Amino acid sequence: MKIIKLKTNEEVTKYLAELLLQQIESNPKSVLGLATGSTPTLAYHQLVKKYLVDQTDFSQVITFNLDEYIGIEPENKNSYRSFMNENLFNYININQENTFLPSTDDQNYAKYDDLIKEYGGIDLQILGIGENGHIGFNEPGTKESTLTHKVTLAENTRENNSIFFDSLEDVPKEAVTMGITSILNAKKIILAATKSNKAEIIKRLINNDISENLPASFLKKHPNVIILVDEDSGKYIEEMI
């Protein structure tokens, strides 16, 4: 894992957007693995800006999102489909038919991995991290062998994500997420973490061995991973490694 520590949330955001743009410039048909949550949101807005100002072309880009809630319709403002439409897809020239999220209808969730494979695999996967070390919605206890699957959300995850909902009761209890193996199949991975509530888990991620208790630690098995932190989330990390 390569660790890059920048000063501010804004710098992390710009760096993340830059890596995504470089990927698209090097291959306009790139397959991107995208995350939701507050961490990548401003990076997505940077991409919209690049489209509006520099006419960056997204017309051939393919995207696969990490996860989706079970029990809320795609049209619901809190679905991850709506999140992606509202923060990125609706404002760039991407072909909506090339934007995928895991299906919550079909019980054969791992068909999503077959679809990713049909498109040649993910070139660049973006990840955030939960305070409990989850990636996607792979909560502590998730096995390395997992492909896209159904999960029950940890209470701490529901509480953290309730900021996007009217109340905690409205936060779904289940979701479908790409598994650990689905994520490790990506060619390159960037995990971004900002703000001080992520400092403890980033410290554990860097210092601890690989374990199911800390799902993000499986990233240590991947040859091409960047961990991108700001001074708040990286406050226990001495220097750039």
Return the residue matching tokens 């799902």: 215
Stretch 59-78 residues interacting with ligand GLP (CB under 6 A): 66-67
Which residues 6+ apart lie within 8 Å of 5 measured at CB?
Answer: 229, 230, 231, 234, 237, 239, 240
Question: Of 29-37, 42-50, 52-60, 227-235, which part binds ligand GLP (CB under 6 A)?
Answer: 29-37
**Interface region with ligand GLP, contact rule CB under 6 A, candidates 32-40, 44-52, 96-104, 207-215:** 32-40
The least CB distance from residue 238 to ligand GLP, in Å, is 24
Which amino acids are annotated catalytic? 67, 132, 134, 139
> Is 15 among the residues that bind ligand GLP (CB under 6 A)?
no
Nearer to ligand GLP, 35 or 61 (CB): 35
Nearer to ligand GLP among residue 16 and residue 206 (C-beta)? 16
Closest approach, Cβ 64 to ligand GLP, in A, equals 13
Query: Residue 104 interacts with ligand GLP (CB under 6 A)?
Result: no
227 binds ligand GLP (CB under 6 A): no
DSSP lists the bridge partners of residue 175 as 69, 151
Per-residue 3-state assignment (H helix, E strand, C coil) for the chain: CEEEECCCHHHHHHHHHHHHHHHHHHCCCCEEEECCCHHHHHHHHHHHHHHHHHCCCCCCCEEEECEEECCCCCCCCCCHHHHHHHHCHHHCCCCHHHEECCCCCCCCCCHHHHHHHHCCCCCEEEECCCCCCCECCECCCCCCCCCCEEEECCHHHHHHHHHHCCCHHHCCCEEEECCHHHHHCCCEEEEEECCHHHHHHHHHHHHCCCECCEHHHHHHHCCCEEEEECCCCCCCCCCCC
Token pair of 66 as six digits: 């990490």
Among 33, 128, 172, 215, binds ligand GLP (CB under 6 A): 128
Q: Which of 133, 136, 215, 234 binds ligand GLP (CB under 6 A)?
A: 136
CB under 6 A: which stretch of 49-57, 112-120, 128-136, 230-238 binds ligand GLP?
A: 128-136
30 forms part of the interface with ligand GLP (CB under 6 A): no
Among 102, 130, 179, 234, binds ligand GLP (CB under 6 A): 130
Does position 157 interact with ligand GLP (CB under 6 A)? The reply is: yes
Q: What span, in angstroms and rounded, lies between the C-alpha atoms of 65 and 81? A: 9
Our finding on whether 32 is near ligand GLP (CB under 6 A) is no
Q: Which stretch binds ligand GLP (CB under 6 A): 6-14, 37-45, 89-97, 216-224?
A: 37-45
Q: Is residue 9 close enough to count as binding ligand GLP by CB under 6 A? A: no
> Six-digit token pair at 153?
């959300």
Chain positions contacting ligand GLP, by CB under 6 A: 35-39, 66-67, 128-130, 136-137, 157, 161
